[in-house]
Amino acid sequence: MPPMPSRREIAFTIMDVARMLKTYADQRARQFGISRAQWAVLVRIERAEGLKQTELAEILDLQPISLSRLLDRLADNGLIERRSDPNDRRANRLYLSPAARPLIAQLARLGAEMMETVLEGLDERAQARLLRDLVAIKNNLRAAINRGDPQRQAING
């Protein structure tokens, strides 16, 4: 049995995989004239049309100004619509335009193709285990972030 990888190597590998997946998604999204970030925005709007820009920025972990630029490009390309919030004059709600629907379908197929490549050699059982383990890591991180940094608390406490 091979030795267990060091915890540090696990962290570096997760970060490398995330970075490489982003690079791969950017490369593949270019064929549709969009970036990975624009792709993510379109998918999130599709999942929850009518989101406020501030809500979407929080979901995507983007600064509002960065999201605003992405939305400007998508609106200029006729892919999204900003509509005034009837309850808050300062807010906009986001909707896909009819022109975005075929692109979303193409991006869904592209995403499926990409994941076939990414997960090549992993059977269904291995994929299920990987997903379960990554969700556990994500939940551990979320809990740690919500607790705050213990060293900072000790210094300020």
Q: Which CATH number fits domain 9-147: 1.25.40.10, 1.10.760.10, 3.30.470.10, 1.10.10.10?
A: 1.10.10.10
- State mean pLDDT over 113-142: 96
User: How far, in Å, CA of 51 to CA of 37, rounded?
Assistant: 17
Q: Is a pLDDT exceeding 60 seen at residue 151?
A: no
Q: How deeply is 104 buried, as exposed, middle or buried, from its count of CB atoms within 10 A (0-12, 13-18, 19+)?
A: middle
What's this model's pTM, rounded to 2 decimal places? 0.79
Q: 80 near 68, Cβ under 8 Å?
A: no
Return the pLDDT at 154.
Answer: 52
Long-range contacts of 69-77 (CB under 8 A, 24+ apart): 70/37, 70/38, 70/41, 71/41, 73/38, 74/38, 74/41, 74/42, 77/33
- Maximal C-alpha separation, the chain: 63
The more confidently predicted of residues 145 and 3 is: 145
User: How far, in Å, CA of 17 to CA of 15, rounded?
Assistant: 5
Query: Across-strand partners of 85?
Result: 88
Return the pLDDT at 2.
Answer: 63
Q: 50 near 43, Cβ under 8 Å?
A: no
